[in-house]
Amino acid sequence: MKKIAAPILFAGLFAGCASNETAESSAVKQSEICQTYYVSWVGEMQQYRASATFRFGGATGTTLHLSSPSEVKFNGQKMNEEKMLFGGATYGFESKSYSETSTFEFMDTDKKKYTNSFSFAGIDFKENPQKISSKSAFEIELTRDITTADQVKLHVQDTLNAFSADIKTGTASAEVRYDAASKKLVIQPSFFRTMADVPLTLWLEASFTDRTLKESADKGGTISFSYTSREIKVTRVEDVQ
């Protein structure tokens, strides 16, 4: 079990040493443009957000304002430029509806197009029990199966501390595991051993960071993703009636 300082919502904004200067994309060699994409879903806020940043001089170089006819689209919709105080030029999209497929389409000033896409089926708790036993395993159904390809964490938080654990599949002895036979998440009492006896907040998180783009110019690019489920609140008691 890993201790964390606070709930992880989405850690993909800008690297600390990245430039916040901005130039026109028409002023640079188009094959030298580096693409950086981020997608996040925050279930508690019902916020689906995407951002696109273009740089010259590598992944930490000068940010670029896309000169006409260059543009970037997300799931078919043109992304608008956003002014970031310390991040230079970036392009954003926001919605209250989650899409399992996320697709970025970038066209440079030479009208060359690059399309990058990935899919992730959302995963949430299917129910919200108010009380759980402090002596026996806690089982809860999810909205879909967890497969070996998924990288999903369970987070728990009391008033002061937050912890997380990777959800294992096919490992009967794990503190937190997904049981494919019952289609339930199984959490052992030991997972909560250091938490205060107050209502606990639980949520799921799936993510990947800096995945290489399938289509890019010579300088390449990356895409990162974070999915955070809705939260549930539970109280531990000795006997659950």
Nearest to 10 by CA among 156, 164, 209: 209
- Domain 7-121+207-228 has what CATH class? mainly beta
**pLDDT digits 0-9 by tens, 1-59:** 454 433 333 334 444 466 778 999 999 999 999 999 999 999 999 999 999 999 999 98
* Residue indicated by tokens 């909205």: 143
Sketch the domain layout of the chain as residue ranges. 7-121+207-228, 131-205+232-237
**pLDDT by 10s per residue, the chain, length 241:** 454 433 333 334 444 466 778 999 999 999 999 999 999 999 999 999 999 999 999 988 999 999 999 999 999 999 999 976 666 899 999 999 999 999 999 999 999 999 999 999 999 999 998 898 888 999 999 999 998 888 899 999 998 889 999 999 877 788 999 998 888 999 999 999 888 888 999 999 999 999 999 999 999 999 999 999 999 999 988 765 5
> For residue 175, with 0-12 CB atoms within 10 Å meaning exposed, 13-18 middle and 19 or more buried, which class applies?
buried
Asked if residue 21 lies in contact with residue 28, where contact means CB atoms within 8 angstroms, the answer is: no
Which H/E stretch holds residue 8? none
Distance CA 27, CA 33 (A): 11
